Chain A
Amino acid sequence: MSDMSTGHRYDAGRYEIRVKGRLDSRWTAWFDDMTLTDESDGTTRIHGPVIDQAALHGLLKKLRDIGLPLISVTQVRPDRPALPLIDPR
């Protein structure tokens, strides 16, 4: 629909979501083909393109539904350094 397409222009981008605990790569498909990377500190970085805010919230809802503790959500702009949106640490 026309009003959905407006989301593309303003919010599309890459996001990095960090969760507590290592996550097997089998979850890739469940997270809409985002890339899962294990970090050395026992967290997992879920990253990749997100088409708009609605999609981002859908992703966060999936984390909530399997009880994954959320650590941070960051928008990654190719031309700028990472901008933390939520970072409780």
Chain B
Amino acid sequence: MVGPLLETKLHVPRRRRALVSRPRLNERLSRGAESALTLVSAPAGFGKTTLLTDWLGTSAVDGWSIAWVSLDERDNDPALFWSYVLAALEVAAPGVGVHARALLQSSPSPIESVLATLLNGLSAASKDVVLVLDDYHVIDAREVQEGMAYLLEHLPPQIQLVIAGRADPSLSLGRLRGRGELVEIRAADLRFTAEEAAAYLNGAMGLQLKAADVAVLEGRTEGWIAALQLAALSMQGREDVPAFIEGFAGDDRFVVDYLAEEVLQRQPEHVRRFLLHTSILSRLNGALCDAVTGQDGGRTMLEALDRANLFLVPLDDRRRWYRYHHLFADVLQAHLLDEQPDELPRLHRRAVDWYEQNGERSEAIDHALAAEDFPRAADLVELALPALHQGKQEATVRRWMEALPDELFAVRPVLSVGYVGAFMATGETDGVETRLLSAERWLDTTEAVGKAPGARAGMVVLDHEEFRRLPGQIAMYRAARALVHGDVAAAMAHARTALDLAGADDHVGRGGPAALLGLAYWTTGDLDAAHRWYADGLASLDKGGYRTDVIGGAVALADIRIAQGRLREAMTTYQRALHRAEGTDPVLRGAADMHVGMSQLFIERDDLAAARHHLLRSQELGEHNGLLQHPYRRRLAAARLQVLDGDPDGALDLLDQAERVYNSDFSPDVRPIPAVRARLWITHRRLDDALDWVRERGLSVDDDLDYVREYEHITLARVLVARGAAESAERPLHEATGLLDRLLRAAEEGQRTGSVIEILVLQAMACQIRGDLPAALSWLERGLTQAEPEGYVRTFVDEGAPMVAVLRVAAAREIAPGYVRRLLAAVDTTRDGGPVHHDLVEALSARELDVLRLLGTDLDGPDIARRLFVSLNTVRTHTKNIYAKLGVNNRRAAVRRAGELELASPPDDRRPLGLAVHDG
């Protein structure tokens, strides 16, 4: 954050004495507790805030915790908006937002993850909380609105959400209304009735008006509270009240315009000037007012205005900060603009000075922009950049940058590169190069030792430390951009330049480009260099304190090790990262990714119980604990288990989902999901679909080989082998063998043992199908030798009947006897289905076993809930867990699986399912 959060925005505005009590509206607000949303929507000056603060003071809200946020335009930055919401909730119910807050501050966090975590915290809250978002009409950022829609959709019942503003929010109000989930208070409800107007004017304001006069005022203002307030102020201490009322009633001017004029005219000149000059401020305190007006006595003046009820709203209990009522501030500003337009820039500049001296850079920047003092604004933005990047306030950076004229960037290299950083953080690369070039122009001539930066005429640099790092940063951004665009050579060249430019102890300056260089090498298939550079980059980032990035980096490192056929090292890599991630509370992001990776490795080892356990663990941590690649990787791993469970359609569904949530996070796409799908088609006899895929991808056995397409080419070989088997045709087998020969040479050259083993297995398959058993055995033996030390199982077993036949011969001839025996044992268990999964049962809790048994009956969800004396939600949670643990996705499959696993009938020492405690 640039500067801390403003506490005053979280303060429930003080209740004004002399209120008109409005029990009918308070009652309606209290009814909101049973609805999803309470909406107070009406134009300015209709008493929305007053009504809410009044209601919060009533006994109906006793015992509730109150979270309040007064919003302003700046909160259109999602990072800022949610920071305030979380801070407000923290005040109301300490602890509910801790994890969400940690997530918001770590990088990079999609807002939905933050909200999912927040919702978890909220549903655990022991107290009822009312969350009020006041002045919500200022929010027009789509990201914030989407986040609110998500929050509203999932809000637990103990939270009452109240939104107040001058315009209806972009939420599906129609649907809420239809479901009876919306409590609304609108202008028609808020207008003062004749009785309320009388109570206000004669009671609270102490005027002694006749009923007829009150009626006239009520009619002319149409019950608009702000207008009645202005009218009351105009009448106080006036001799000729009837004349005033008559004049007002007989005039057709806009009521607020007319009345504000009346009020202002009655102020002494110095008060009037104070009001106009300070109207540019969104918050006021004595010192700030003094700075802006160039006078003394600001504090005394504010207190006097407060006493006179001149539309001043105190923002804290100590009467330090105030603001004008928005409507009144607008009227004052219109007067200021009309009467003293030339004063405006000067007033804003003084506000800039004050805010800058008081360390509130964000406010200073907004006033500098309002003063159209763009160089000043640019200076401040440049200095604010590091904190903004750290606070992930990219939206704020972009708003400010876009307000600055282009020509300023031309002479401000640090600002230009900062702009690029804000762009690249959201994955955009358009226009990046132009800004980098414009920054670079200033670098060549200023690098001479001892020459101060800025020596070149016209260049403007405020942050000299950043300036020194610019050459390296520019090269790094170029490397990232080139990698995204698939230009590996350029990515490497730029990354190396960035490394050369980074100082020895500039950890972040080294870490970024080293990791990019590793990714570039990975793309070329030089895995050794890839691992070395990527690990080097992570080590630097670690020293720089970037923990999440280091944990997330394990995914790429392990991927590289797997391609190298070093499964054990891959496992160690995951375990180490997991240890770090789970060693803190809350668990750091990325732990879920590690569990998914380990699950994949356990599948290869054919330890399916362990694989399921880790997948389940990642599910428990939740998608929000995962990094950018997690959503698609988790689905890929789940799909693989589905296949082994004999549910290829479920697996295809998961692959479709995986494709939709795919995110490369700069890593090369070495296992494209469509190719994974094609392999699934091959094993499930959908050869035509697989051939369509080959044509779509334009794959041919004569293609030049490169690593990025290796997986696709091996898949092509599989298609050909399958076709040879299906059609008993020699030609496809021949083509497959030729392609595999070339793939083998390339993989051996690149020391990609993982690929080598798979290719050898396929060669053995092709020979076996062709009926050349000796050749098949010879290929298999080569494969076994390389695979045994790392414990590969499924790479062999998944190939099915032809492979089993060769393995049986190998067993008879005592080729790698122990290993082959293990592989054949895996074939047997797979075929029989049962035994391997038995240890799973331990993972089902007693309660889950109860639910599982009832799932086998005709009872529906609510019945099961009643039977077990729990809520429907609890049943749903149990059911979800049961499905995950059994690796199924519907009730029937769960029951069938329970039967297979003998969970339905009481085995020897296990708790009999038939005796659920609450039965009957």
Please, how many angstroms separate the alpha-carbon atoms of A18 and B237 in the complex?
36
A64 touches B253 (CB 8 A): no
Shortest B140–chain A CB gap in Å is 9
| Interface membership of B257, Cβ < 8 A | yes
Residues of chain A within 8 A of B287, CB atoms compared: none
> Closest Cβ of chain A: how far from B532's Cβ, in Å?
42
Which single residue of chain A is at the shortest CB-CB distance from B226? A67
Q: Which of A20, A28, A65 has the most CB of B within 10 A?
A: A65
Q: Does B837 contact A (CB under 8 A)?
A: no
> Measured between C-beta atoms, what is the minimum distance from B126 to chain A in Å?
40
B334 to chain A: which residues have CB within 8 Å?
26-27, 29-30, 66
Most buried by A among B256, B333, B337, B339: B337
Is A83 part of the contact surface with B, judged by Cβ < 8 Å? no
User: A36: shortest Cβ distance to chain B, in Å?
Assistant: 11
Q: Size band of the B side of the interface?
A: 20 to 34
- Cα A24 to Cα B337 with chains together (Å): 13
Whether A1 contacts B402 by the Cβ 8 Å rule is yes
Chain B residues whose C-beta falls within 8 Å of the C-beta of A44 in the assembled complex: 254
Contact indicator per residue, chain B 164-206, by CB within 8 Å of chain A (1) or not (0): 0011000000000000000000000000000000000000000
B224: Cβ under 8 A from any A Cβ: yes
| CB–CB B338/A64 < 8 A | no
A23 contacts which of B226, B253, B339 (Cβ < 8 Å)? B253
Do B402 and A65 touch across chains, with their CB atoms under 8 A apart? no
A32's closest neighbor in chain B, by CB? B337
B327 on interface, CB distance cutoff 8 Å: yes
Q: Are B335 and A26 in contact (CB under 8 A)?
A: yes
B432–chain A nearest beta-carbon distance, Å:
14
Identify the closest chain A residue to B401 (Cβ): A1
Q: Is A49 an interface residue (CB 8 A)?
A: no
Task: Let me know if B909 is at the binding interface, CB within 8 A.
Answer: no
Task: Please state if B335 and A64 are interface contacts (CB–CB under 8 Å).
Answer: no
Interface flags for B220-264 (1: CB within 8 Å of A; 0: not) read: 000010100000000000000000000000001111110001000
In the complex, the number of residue pairs spanning A and B with C-beta atoms less than 8 Å apart equals 62
The answer on a CB contact under 8 Å between B252 and A42 is: yes
Q: How many angstroms between the C-alpha atoms of A42 and B220 in the bound complex? A: 13
Q: Are A29 and B253 in contact (CB under 8 A)?
A: no
Q: A1-B402, A66-B330 are in contact. Are A23 and B337 (CB under 8 A)?
A: no
A22-B253 in contact (CB<8A): yes
Q: Which residues of chain A in 1-55 are interfacial with respect to chain B, using CB atoms and an 8 Å cutoff?
A: 1, 19-24, 26-30, 42, 44
Q: Which residue of A lies closest to B43 (CB)?
A: A67
Output the nearest chain A residue to B251 by Cβ-Cβ distance. Answer: A22
- Specify which of A1, A22, A23, A67 is in contact with B224 (CB 8 Å cutoff): A67
Residues of B within 8 A of A62 (CB): 330
Contact (Cβ within 8 A) B327 A27: no
A73 to chain B, nearest CB (A): 16
Contact indicator per residue, chain A 64-88, by CB within 8 Å of chain B (1) or not (0): 1111100000000000000000000
Let me know if A30 and B45 touch, CB within 8 A.
no
CB-contact partner of A65 in B44, B257, B261, under 8 A: B44
For the complex, is B853 an interface residue (Cβ under 8 Å from A)?
no
A64-B43, A64-B167 as given contacts; A30 in contact with B333, CB under 8 Å: yes
The distance from the CB of A23 to the nearest CB of chain B, in whole angstroms, is: 5
B357 → chain A, closest Cβ, in Å?
Answer: 30
Find chain B residues with CB under 8 A from A1 CB. 402
Return chain A residues, CB-CB under 8 Å to B44.
64-67
Residue B331 is within 8 A (CB to CB) of chain A in the complex: yes
CB neighbours of B402 from chain A (8 A): 1
Nearest B-chain residue to A63, judged by Cβ = B43
Interface residues on A, range: 20 to 34
Given contacts A21-B253, A24-B253, A24-B257, contact A66 B327 (CB under 8 A): yes
Q: What's the minimum C-beta distance from B840 to chain A, rounded to whole angstroms?
A: 55
> Contact string, B400-422, partner A, CB cutoff 8 A, digits 1/0?
00100000000000000000000
Given that A27-B338, A65-B330, A67-B44 are known contacts, is A22 also in contact with B252, CB under 8 Å in the complex? Answer: yes
Bound complex: CA A23 to CA B257 (Å): 7
Residues of A contacting B45 in the complex (Cβ-Cβ under 8 angstroms): 67
Check A23–B254 contact: CB distance below 8 A.
yes
Q: Measured between alpha carbons, how far is A64 from B137 in the docked complex, in Å? A: 10
**What's the Cα separation between A67 and B689 when bound, in Å?**
63
B341 close to chain A: CB less than 8 A: yes
A20–B220 CA distance with the chains assembled, in angstroms: 13
Q: Do B330 and A24 have beta carbons less than 8 Å apart?
A: no
Q: How far is A19 from B226 in the complex, measured between Cα atoms in Å?
A: 18
Q: Give min CB distance, A31 to chain B, whole Å.
A: 9
Q: Please give, as numbers and ranges, the residues of chain B lying within 8 Å of A24 by CB-CB distance.
A: 253, 257, 261
Most-contacted residue by chain B among A19, A29, A67 (CB, 10 A) = A67
Q: Which of B45, B226, B333, B334 has the most CB of A within 10 A?
A: B334
Give the nearest-CB partner of A2 in chain B.
Answer: B431
Minimum CB–CB distance for A32 against chain B, Å: 10
| Contact of A21 with B341 at beta-carbon distance under 8 Å, contacts A65-B327, A66-B327, A67-B44 already known | no
Which residues from A are CB-within-8-Å of B256? 66-67
Nearest CB in chain A to that of B254: its residue: A21
Contact assessment for A65 and B252 in the assembled complex, using a CB-CB cutoff below 8 Å:
no
Nearest opposing residue in chain A for B334, CB measure: A30
A24 to B45 CA separation, bound complex (whole angstroms): 20
Kindly list the 6 A-B residue pairs having the minimum CB-CB distance in the complex, ordered from nearest: A21-B254, A26-B338, A29-B337, A30-B334, A42-B252, A67-B43
- List B residues at the A interface (Cβ < 8 Å): 43-45, 137, 166-167, 224, 226, 252-257, 261, 326-327, 330-331, 333-335, 337-339, 341, 402
A selection of 24 A-B contacts at a CB cut-off of 8 Å is: A1-B402, A19-B254, A20-B254, A21-B257, A22-B253, A22-B254, A23-B254, A23-B257, A26-B334, A26-B335, A26-B339, A28-B338, A29-B334, A30-B330, A44-B254, A62-B330, A65-B326, A65-B327, A65-B330, A66-B331, A67-B45, A67-B226, A67-B327, A68-B254
A interface, CB within 8 angstroms of B: 1, 19-24, 26-30, 42, 44, 62, 64-68
Q: Given known contacts A67-B44, A68-B254, what 18 new A-B pairs fall within 8 Å (CB)?
A: A19-B254, A22-B257, A23-B257, A28-B338, A29-B334, A30-B330, A30-B337, A44-B254, A62-B330, A64-B44, A64-B166, A65-B326, A65-B327, A66-B44, A66-B330, A67-B43, A67-B45, A67-B327
